[in-house]
Every structure is written in structure tokens, then in C-alpha cells.
Structure 1
């Protein structure tokens, strides 16, 4: 597999103290990770692990991830471990075992450091340049894995196949857009981290979060439904505004136009974290009669006195168009 800074997979080496003996090699077969995601959104990543047993060994799985410190993954992330062929070792498969945060008092047996500090010292911070504060977060399994390289069947010694597992990671990104490299690593708690006696795998992949200025929810709705409009001001002229108002135009009943253009209690948006949100029933929002037929909706955002206006730059500075969803 080709190695690069943007997607680096490193494998374990021969034990230098025992040149004739190969230890169990740990690999990442793949890291299934999106390259980008919205701020304040849920992300799911799957790390595909492979252990190629070369000697007998046991220990709990130690899994670590390098991520922006602001995401607080120790509290914010859920990691589930599932094996696919641990039964070849004569054990029951592990299904959705929750990995738990490594206690702060536990240390790497190779160097005596706290585990997070050990990952930072031995593996480093990837291609991150310091513009985003990063940290290694460490979890471990409750299962003590017992890996054997050979077994004897009817007097014949047989080589045992690789053991595979998936770690499914779920977390919510932070409120501020970032561009970084996420890092991944795993080892056994009985071995720890050491370059010249390497029994761990590592990988780095690029990732960035961004703000989508305008969104609607739910994913399916009609003009006759109640739905939400969400505005993320961080990359707009309304960044830092304490109040934001929803304005817009309804085209209805054969091309008639009705507009909301000034700030008021009815169109003031609610604060939702780093965003603003407003649930609307279009006919009520635009003051239309109950039998009106809405043909088109578009929206924009202003401050209280209307001196700052945010429209859709990608649509020639017009309002953000809202189309009906397919039923």
C-alpha cells in the first residue's frame, strides 16, 4: 500500500531484540471517513483493523484518535468494537462492545507516560501545523484478546489466519470550522508504543468542517407544512449579530408576490448554539389566506435595522430558494 502524509498507514516491524521472531503485526486495512462535514453535525467513521498473528499474545485493545481538542471526544464520542473472525482463535465474536476512555492514571508500559502523551510523543501530530489545537484521545476494550499464531489439529500444526475487527466511531463536530488531519492508532495495552519494537498501527487522513449558511428541515416537506429554516452566520456579514430576522418572498396564486422585509417579533429567529433557527408555516408567515396556493418561496436574513442583509451569493445575490420536497 502506498504511503503518504495525507493517508499514511504504517505497519509493525521485526523485533530488533529477537531478530528471528516476528511479532503480531497490526494493520489498518481501511479508514472509512468522510473528507468533510458540517459544523455541529454527527460524523460516523469505521476503522477496519487486521491482526496478522506471528506469535502468541494477549492484551486489551487500546484505540486512539487524534482530533481537535474543542470537540471533546472523550465525552462526545462513542466507539463500538466488532470482530469478524475472532472465532478462528476459538473465541466468541465480539459484537458492538463499547470502548471506554482510558483512565488518566494508566500509563504506557513502554515509556511510563500517560497514554495520550505517549501517542503524541511516539506517533506525533501528523500533518497538523498547530493552527488547530489537537489532542490524542485514548480508549480501551474490556475484552482481553488472546491471539494465537498456530494450533495443532490431528497432530498437524496449522497456521491461524488473520483476525479482523471494525471500530465504529460516532461523534459530533464542533461549532467552529476547522481543517486538520485526523489520526488513528491502536495497540495492545500489554505492549504499548515503541518505534524500534513496533506493535501498533497508525493512519492519518485529512478532514475539514464547514458552515452551510442556509438549511431547511425536515428533509421532506411541502409548502403547506411547518418546517424549519436554519441560518449559520459565521462566514457572513451577520457574524456576531445578537439578533437575526428572517425575511423573504412568497410567489402565489398565479404569480402574485407577498414579501416580509422588516424586522419584528414574528420573524425574529431563535438562537440555537452557533446558529439561528425559525419554524414557519408559510401561509401564516406571509399573512396569506388559507386557500392561497404558494408557487415559490425564497428567504434572506437581516439584522434588526435592516442595514446588513445576507442573501444567496451562489444564486446571484437573490434569496435562498426553498423548493417543495418529493413526497
Structure 2
């Protein structure tokens, strides 16, 4: 008998046996539908319902774990209300706090942030009541979410994830649903398109140029790391700080002067026209091989560099001929 028990233990603790045991002891959640508006107006409250099916493989009672991906600016942790109804009971949900397991990190690792380039966050809620399930008896439910959408025009993709406290956030025991990008309208700001490409603060005109051309450099101080404003947002004056390699020697044009001062062409929008040879006092016979630059305020104590690299922006010749 002892040998048989030892043999049984060896079988149970084999990896495949553990996997089968895990399948036998689970409560699989599937999101079957998300009812969410495609657009709302600033200042409004948005109501969303998430329909789920639950397939218990054991007799157990667990709390519902619900995560929603939203723009950080909405601050739904301070304004959202969440509740649930189901065949096996109804109840309310609360914001997850420091005494709960860390659900936010595994949700972010498992689900990502959809089509958004950044400035979004997963906010997690946990049911105040447990929901009981019986082995092999599926049941359905619905989560009701109501949240404020802030005061800014914005396009974003929302995401939803549902699981249980018994198994945490794991592949197979939770379900994730991303909805098509939706829009908030009616605000005073230019649209913040989180579903679009990652914003970049610098533009060049013309698009094709050499170091012998006049190049118009545009700077949008609202487009910093992950779309957040740069450190020069709201500045009253902005200056170009440029460096070059001429005939193998490093030179710099970083003084506060008329030639480096940028023109304001709108709120947080700046432009400067640069002829590299004039900017660096390079003679026609001299060779310019490299130009990099950043932007500074008049005091020189605030500087903006490439948000993607943390280094100076590069001015690279771009000519089809």
C-alpha cells in the first residue's frame, strides 16, 4: 500500500499531472460582449456593461477581479462606480488597494495597453462579495461600470479584463477584451490621439534638404515623452541649441541670439529657419558632416531633447537626388 501511495504522489507531482489538476480546479471566465459607446462628450459620465460567462471546474466561492484600461487623465480611481449581477448573486465592487494582491502588474504584463502609445493605465476593482460556483455548472453575469471621461478631446482604445481572486491574473483563467478606439469630443484642446502614432515634437520643412539649404525647424512643446508635454510647454521664449562637426572639429551655436531664437506661431508652437553654414559660420570650402540640436529656455536651465532617446535631435541630410 505504501508503494502504491508513493507511486500516486509521483504521478500527481509530475508537471503534466499538475497541469491537468489545475484544469480540474479552475473557474474560467469568458467575456462575451462589451456594450460601450463609440463617442461621448467631455464632462459626461460613460456607462459600460461587460457580459461574462463563467465555467467552474470545482465547488468554490471567489471574489471577482475586474480591470479597465483608460486614459490616466480620466482619474477613474476617484470617480468610477462598479457593480455586478449574475445568476449566482449580485453585488458591488471597490477599488483595489494596498492590502490586496498586486493585480495591476500581471494585468499590464499579460494584456499590454492595446493600440494606445501611452498615457493610459489599468485600474483594478474587486467585488465586495464572493460569487459561488458549482463544479460543471456554468453561469453568466454582467459587470456595470460608470466613469467620468474628463475634459479633453481624446481618442483612445479601452480594454477590459475579468478574472477571480482564486486564480489571480493568469492565461486561461481570465479573459481580455479591447474595444475599437473611441473618442471624447467637445473640449477646447486639439485632439489627443492615443491611438495614433507616438507624437514627435520636431518637424522639418522642406522634407528633402541638404546642409546647404535653408531648413525650417518646427518644435511642438506639447509633444514630450509618451505624448506628455515637454519641459518647455508654457515657455515664453525658446532657443535652438545646435552643435556640428565641421572639417572634423566640433563647433556649437548655443548662445542667446536673434539667429537661435525661435518664433512663436501658436500656443507651445515654435519655428526657426536655419541655414547651417550661416549658423555655424562655415565657409563654402568647409565640410559639415554632422548636426545635432536641442531646445532651451532663455535662462538655459530647461532643455528639451529627443524624447525617444534622451539625446540631442539629429538633423540628417535627406535628399532624393
The normalised TM-score by structure 1 is: 0.49
Please list, as runs of the form range in 1=range in 2, the aligned pairs for 1:68-147 lying within 5 A after superposition.
Answer: 68-83=71-86, 85-86=87-88, 93-94=89-90, 97-107=91-101, 114-130=102-118, 133-147=119-133
Equivalent in the alignment of 2:13: none
Query: Hey, what's the Cα distance between the residues in 1 that align with 2:27 and 2:180?
Result: 28
Q: Distance in 2 between matches of 1:16 and 1:37?
A: 50
In structure 2, relative to structure 1, the CA distance for the partners of 1:28 and 1:134 (3 Å cut) is same
Structure 2 unaligned blocks of 5 or more:
1-15, 192-321
- Which residue of 1 is the match for residue 181 of structure 2? 207
| 8 A Cα contact 1:28 1:202, kept in partner | yes
Q: Distance in 2 between matches of 1:57 and 1:40?
A: 41
Distance verdict in 2 for CA 1:203–1:16, change over 3 Å: farther
* CA separation of 1:233 and 1:191: change in aligned 2, threshold 3 A: closer
Per-residue deviation at 1:144?
A: 1.7
* 1:167 pairs with one of 126, 136, 143: 143
Once residues 16 and 199 of structure 1 are traced to their aligned partners in structure 2, the CA distance between those partners, rounded to angstroms, is: 18
1:132-173: per-residue Cα shift (whole Å, max 9, x none)? Answer: x011101111212221125xxxxxxxxx2x211111111111
Unaligned stretches of 5+ residues in structure 1: 1-14, 87-92, 108-113, 151-159, 213-231, 237-327
What's the counterpart of residue 35 of structure 1? Answer: 38
Q: What pairs up with 1:1-327 in 2 under 5 angstroms?
A: 17-19=18-20, 21-22=23-24, 23-83=26-86, 85-86=87-88, 93-94=89-90, 97-107=91-101, 114-130=102-118, 133-150=119-136, 160=137, 162-195=138-171, 198-212=172-186, 233-234=188-189
In 2 relative to 1, CA 120–16 (structure 1 residues): closer, same or farther, beyond 3 Å? farther
> What is the distance in 1 between the residues matched to 2:36 and 2:100?
29
TM-score using structure 2 length: 0.50
Alignment RMSD (CA, Å): 2.2
Q: Which structure has the larger Rg?
A: 2
User: Once the 2 structures are TM-superposed, how far is the Cα of residue 207 of structure 1 from its aligned partner?
Assistant: 3.5
Comparing both chains, which one has the higher relative contact order based on Cα–Cα distances under 8 Å and sequence gaps of 6 or more?
Answer: 1
Change in 2 beyond 3 A, CA 1:210/1:102: closer
